[in-house]
Amino acid sequence: MDEKTDVRSIHQKVEEALQVIRPYLEADGGDVKILDISDRGIVRLELLGACGTCPMSTMTLKAGVEEAIKRAVPEVTGVEAINITSPDDPNAQLPDKYL
């Protein structure tokens, strides 16, 4: 298999792993989008909807998204989000169901 096929295959596996956890993210008004997968196995994601402004996004990313991806795709060495919201951010907002 060539390198482009490997990247496409890994991308597909990551997308399948996200499909498993996506209903949980959507239940809180959020979602994720794959932006890039590096040759070192780092998946870069964009947090969408409520996930993009939630102060719990770091925990969701590490304990939920990253664990699901790494369990399903051993080639992945890490997961990063380009727009993590800090719990101290004054613009951070919990989803309505938690207020």
pLDDT tens, residue by residue, 15-26: 999 999 999 999
Q: How many domains does the chain have?
A: 1
pLDDT of residue 99: 52
- Within a domain: residue 97? no
CA angle, 53 then 62 then 82, to 5°: 50
pLDDT of the residue at 92: 55
CB 92 within 8 A of CB 53: yes
Model-wide pTM > 0.85:
no
- Give the residue numbers spanning the domain of 28: 3-91
**More confident call, 54 vs 80:** 80
SS (H, E, C) 27-57: HCCEEEEEEEECCCCEEEEEEEEHHHCCCCH
Of 29-33, 52-56, 71-75, the poorest mean pLDDT is in 52-56
Domain containing residue 9: CATH number: 3.30.300.130
Q: Which helix (H) or strand (E) holds 78?
A: strand 78-81
Is 13 part of any domain?
Answer: yes
- Residue-level pLDDT at 45: 93
Burial code (b: 16+ CB inside 10 Å, e: under 16) for 71-90 equals ebbeebeebebeebbeeeee
